[in-house]
Amino acid sequence: MRTLGLLGGMSAESTAIYYRELNRLVRERLGGLHSAELLLWSVDFAPIAALQAQGQWDETGRLLADGARRLEQAGAEAIVLCTNTMHLNAPMIAGAVGVPFLHIGDATAAALKAKGVKRPLLLATRFTMEQTFYKDRLVAAGLDPMTPEEADRGRLHAIIYDELCQGVVNPASKAEALAMVAKGRAAGADGVIFGCTEIGLLLGQDDLDVPAVDTTLVHCEAAVDFALG
């Protein structure tokens, strides 16, 4: 089994899901008392979030690249960045290490295509919905991603940072998110991407009438494929 290096803390809520899910998948595949071989470098998210808000992406990339190097030095055989938004820094992080960087966008695109989705509605932070680093990865895979309208993007961003990242799951916010999905469906979306690693805390496949891909879960699947491959 290969050792996975988790670069997490963004947020701690979803990073805990990574730890739990990776161990569950390994146990499911190997049986008995098996669990995943993991190293975790978990950052303090508050300074990272402040840099995000200021648009200081070079600085966030420097910090995360340093974390990835520390994981590699400790024995990680691949880097798993436990956040969608910070894949904006994926080139800088991947370039800082000599081991594979397992990109969440690749796992997401593969899962969408396996479900027959062509026009997914991307639910995520404003950074992920409005910048090109993530959507371009999906387009390169042959997908046509959509995003909510501007006001809904702002509201969803607030739900993520002010509630989900702090462990708060609000039924009223769930209703708002489902209304965004309904608008997307009316505009032609044939699937939904839980494109922030916390969205799965708020929504599930059972809430929707179209296929959904939880990026956290498919990223973990891809990581375990690598670890056991």
Provide the annotated active-site residues: 83, 196
Q: Strands (DSSP E) along the chain, which ranges?
A: 4-8, 38-42, 78-81, 120-123, 191-194, 212-214
End-to-end CA distance of the chain: 8
Contact 6, 80 (CB under 8 A): yes
Between CA 179 and CA 83 the distance in angstroms is 24
What are the residues whose beta carbons fall under 8 Å from the beta carbon of 182, sequence distance 6 or more?
none
| Closest-CA residue to 145 (of 111, 116, 180, 120) | 120
